[in-house]
Amino acid sequence: MEVLSTDGPGSQAADFIWGGGDLLLVGVTASCPSLLGTFDASSLKEATRMCKSEKSCNFYVWDGHAKRAQLCQGDSPDFIGGSGSHVAVGVRAAAFATSGFAVATNYQAVCETNDIVDEIRGVFDMQTASAKCSASEGCTHFTLSTVAGLDGMLPASQANTLWMCSGKPALVYHAGWLTAARASVLPPRLPVDVSPIFDGPTI
């Protein structure tokens, strides 16, 4: 998909903690190529559970004001930013599985200047990103920005930018970002305080 377990609160928290949960695009809405249904959802967590329980659900759009979630099927949605922090899109983590790499959703790799192998704009999917890293000598991991998670940090022009890096990954939680590393390189645990994720105003 272009960028844009067992059910239950405990397992979902683990998804976020271990970097394997749905990619969260806060402040973004999306077109729905094939609408599976619109349902009441009091929280983003509930919307996530709904999508997990529907095998054909690839992503969902949640509106915190309306307390409603659209469950969607399809792999080529149009993402629209500037929708307000009460709206979020969740993309199933399986969409970003990449051969030869371990993927962490909602994590950004912080690369020191000397460790940056290359910076490439206009990268919209993990397959392209992983192919570029695999073909680049010294690239052990990469981080990819999407249409969300740039506010106060990077200009909008750096959405869908790939940073390829060398060395041991240093990861920080950042909703809307993707990081992937060769399986032997990615740290085994990606701790994060889940309370603001679950209790903040956007969810």
Is 187 a member of any domain? no
Give the 3-state secondary structure of residue 79.
Answer: strand
Residues 6+ apart with CB under 8 A from 116: 163, 164, 165
Give the residue among 79, 109, 111, 73 at the shortest CA–CA distance from 92. Answer: 73
Rounded to two decimals, the pTM is 0.82
CA 151 to chain CA centroid, nearest Å: 15
**Residues of the chain falling short of pLDDT 70:** 1-19, 152, 187-203
Tell me the per-residue pLDDT of 147-164, one tens digit each, with 9 for 90 and over. 998 876 777 788 999 999
Is 201 a member of any domain? no
One-letter amino acid for residue 7 of the chain: D
Q: What is the CATH number of the domain that holds 143?
A: 3.50.4.10
Is 171 a member of any domain? yes
Residues 6+ apart with CB under 8 A from 135: none
Question: Same domain, yes or no, for 85 and 101?
Answer: no
